[in-house]
Amino acid sequence: MTKPLVVEIPHQLGRAEARRRIEARLGQGRELVQKAGLTMQDPVWDGDTLAFVVGAMGQTVSGTIAVEDATARVEVRLPLLLGMFSGKVRQVIAEKGGELLAA
């Protein structure tokens, strides 16, 4: 297992609105994951932190999204085999997360 990939996405929405937007998009995320031939366990909220697990290429990718007042901190743990894609994963998280949390 490689070290976690961390992306901090700034926002000006406040904690409650940022969480609401993330929660509202969970269904769309699940659909995209399934269309890509991947699996996704039910995401679980613990306070303002969402934990998720996605199956990809026989590997498990897990992570969290910690929603704070001015940022959403995404932490993804990629297995060694998928670590070579970390740059692309970081880019997609930053772009899509930024779009979701844009004011």
pLDDT at 56 over 80: no
pLDDT at 15 over 70: yes
Tell me if 75 sits within 8 A of 61, measured CB to CB: no
81 three-class SS: helix
Length of the chain: 103
Per-residue pLDDT reduced to its tens digit, 25-53: 887 878 877 777 788 899 999 999 999 99
pTM: 0.87
Who's near 5: CB < 8 A, 6+ residues apart? Answer: 75, 76, 77, 78, 86, 89, 90, 93
71 three-class SS: strand
| All domains in the chain, ordered by first residue | 5-100 (3.30.310)
Give the confidence band of 103 by pLDDT, cuts at 50, 70, 90. low
Say how far apart CA 28 and CA 24 lie, in whole Å.
Answer: 8
